[in-house]
Chains A and B, each alone.
Chain A
């Protein structure tokens, strides 16, 4: 069952186009990565899902409810962490937990304090006295504290140190194992590779890919390094189609492997090659292709 469903969604800002004809869905229990360069429409999409923007065309729904009309109902089971997080300067984590608890109609103090401890945040510090990273932690606590069925996060790790990033990843994995759904935007590939099971890639407001990470890995080229034997005559080497040599340093060639590793091994067996190494699927290269 799809928890998030976006159909032919377009958002225009006057003459400028935010996103065009988006179609994607996120199944329940998935960790969904939303990738794209700056200005590609990630935040616009998230703001439509959050009911902050009304789609110019098409429909966006969460839990089967319309994101614009039923936004407040969706949010009772959703958590949101904005990209450019701003909190009230007078707020402390403790006060926020009290107010948010009153609005959500449940006591959030105890789970909130546990999260504050986990994220190493003093719950009595006012936002005006917090560093950017501390504010980010406070935002995460407020987004996670009610254990939402759906967590929407816009570049959540941008201001977190590596240790906190790790803690967040652990927390997200725990949520996912418990059947919760996580939708987050990022332009950090390693983050997406570590966490997500499926991704959508946006470029200039259009969806250019929407598939599982496994499929993307299968389509991604691998880096291969070939070290020719000293006696090899490199001028006459006929390079097969599935190898794209992009760098040559004397006897050492760096190539992108578009075919299978088996093909490369078969071909190299007949060549005067001293050593060969084949890397993991190069997602960065694939994403670069999507981005350009």
Chain B
């Protein structure tokens, strides 16, 4: 198992460092910039319908007449760039095996070693889980550093931080789990990435549309972003247990099916 994990880390450390530092930098920047928007001027902007819609879409919930520090602070965790980084990391990592390995033909050598496919899948998944933890923690550190000089009302308590970051990690698990499944069904990494990307973008747009168009509200439950709402966490300071269970459930079930498919499928590289 040590050898497999060493191999996976050798392959994935560069992307892990890049994604983690990117998230940390973006969080730092957002946490630094966002306090500047607290005040009457931003509330005046909110009177413009399209800006209100945009903020509501980003936060995944309706905002009141005025926007408070919590709402502004939650934007740092719901911003499109933040989501894109987390999704990109999950998709990049989880399409490496088997689609990536089959695509470049290296799986022949890998499976020429005395390792079962199950063991290989589990080893890769352990590194995937660990990578996610590193990324969200670096993101949190960036957020804390960026927000040091800001308003006290905007600073998250340690409890809130843990909940937001855990919810983000659950989102990472959901997207990653789906990526494992699609990857297990594919021989081409590009195709697998495209399919998962299409799924998460569809989820994003579903979330977007459901805020603007009431008939789409009934379908909002199908998108993963429906279960990631940092504003609610900052507002209520409670654990969004059902949201987390759904995200972990989607990720876990997809991962499990992906594993079963990988163990049973033919590996054809030529």
A interface vs B, CB < 8 Å? 13, 43, 47, 50-54, 71-73, 75-76, 79-80, 82-88, 90, 95, 98-104, 139, 142-143
Contacts and interface: CB of A to CB of B under 8 A. Distances in A.
A104 B109 contact: no
B105 A88 contact: no
Contacts of B113: 75, 100, 103-104
Contacts, number: 82
Contacts of A83: 270
B2 interface: yes
B227 to A, nearest CB: 37
A50 B114 contact: no
A102 B2 contact: yes
A86 B114 contact: no
Given A90-B11, A102-B6, A104-B113, A84 B105 contact: yes
A101 B114 CA distance: 11
16 contacts: A13-B268, A50-B111, A52-B111, A71-B116, A75-B115, A80-B112, A82-B269, A84-B269, A86-B104, A98-B6, A99-B10, A101-B3, A102-B6, A103-B3, A104-B3, A143-B112
Interface residues of B, number: 25
B96 to A, nearest CB: 11
A82 B108 contact: yes
Given A71-B116, A90-B11, A103-B114, A139 B109 contact: yes
B114 A73 contact: yes
Interface of B: 2-4, 6-7, 10-11, 104-106, 108-109, 111-116, 119, 264, 266-270
Given A90-B10, A95-B10, A84 B109 contact: no
Please provide the 5 A-B residue pairs with the shortest distance between their CB atoms, ordered closest to farther: A102-B3, A86-B105, A103-B3, A76-B114, A80-B112
Contacts of B264: 54
Residue of A71, A79, A82, A85 with most chain B CB atoms under a 10 A cut-off = A82
Contacts of A43: 270
Contacts of A52: 108, 111, 266-268
A82 B102 CA distance: 13
Contacts of B10: 90, 95, 99
B108 A86 contact: yes
Contact of A104 (B104, B114, B270): B114
A47 B267 contact: yes
A50 B114 CA distance: 11
Contacts of B6: 98-99, 102
A72 B115 contact: yes
Residue of B2, B112, B119, B268 with most chain A CB atoms under a 10 A cut-off = B112
Contacts of A84: 105, 108, 269-270
Residue of B6, B10, B109, B270 with most chain A CB atoms under a 10 A cut-off = B109
